[in-house]
Structure 1
């Protein structure tokens, strides 16, 4: 179980990372969203989960952009006085939002007649 302190650190890192990237993100990276941060108990490492709504090319550019920003991001985190140690960030692509959208589309298809009109609700 994650300690309350690590949960607060994860939230702080998530907000700080999202704010930094929002200000410094190149426009060609698509719609980039950070979904979670999971720091280790010793704060040496942190997985930063992100999703990109866009083409596969935009996803690849977002990953490259995040890798390039890693050093400046770590340096900007040093201003967080509440943390003694800034973890090493590992960016992990999170495809949950796109999978959820696909499931939603499939459910919508089930509720359509072959001609594309909505089916009446079953009783």
Structure 2
């Protein structure tokens, strides 16, 4: 495991804690999770993959809230992870969970259309 991977894991824990416990912005929906953090090799950048279950408007509001809290989170990450260089935080929405939910619904709908007699053949 590379140092950037270990630092990414630590940043993920810190950012998740900040979002859940420190940032009191009403634009943040209750179902926000930090899926993954990928830090660059020189640790100057960290791409933070966020999952938000909600409407498109809630996602836009969440993006605005994260952008406005970005400076605070960057300082806290540098302080808590104890890095010489504070990485620039880039928030990216991860759609994989929503895609999985949609696929599951489609499979359920397709299975409803199959009668029990059809499944034997």
What TM bracket, shorter-length normalisation? Answer: 0.7 to 0.9
Note the aligned Cα RMSD (angstroms). Answer: 1.8
Which ranges of 4 or more aligned residues in structure 1 deviate by more than 6 Å? none
Q: Which residue of 2 aligns with 1:26?
A: 25
**Which consecutive residues of structure 1, in runs of 5 or more, have no partner in the other structure?**
none
Q: Which residue of 2 aligns with 1:44?
A: 44
Whole-angstrom CA distance in 1 between matches of 2:44 and 2:106: 41
The verdict on how the C-alpha distance between 1:107 and 1:28 changes in structure 2, with shifts beyond 3 A counting, is same
**Which consecutive residues of structure 2, in runs of 5 or more, have no partner in the other structure?**
none
Where relative contact order (Cα < 8 A, 6+ residues apart) is larger, the structure is 2
Tell me, yes or no, if the aligned pair for 2:10 and 2:81 is still in contact at 8 Å: no
Larger proportion of helix: 2
**Matches for 1:20-99 after TM superposition, within 5 Å:** 20-23=18-21, 24-30=23-29, 31-80=31-80, 82-99=82-99
Whole-angstrom CA distance in 2 between matches of 1:81 and 1:48: 15
* 1:7 and 2:5 matched: yes
Tell me, yes or no, if the aligned pair for 1:25 and 1:65 is still in contact at 8 Å: no
TM-score by length of 1: 0.85
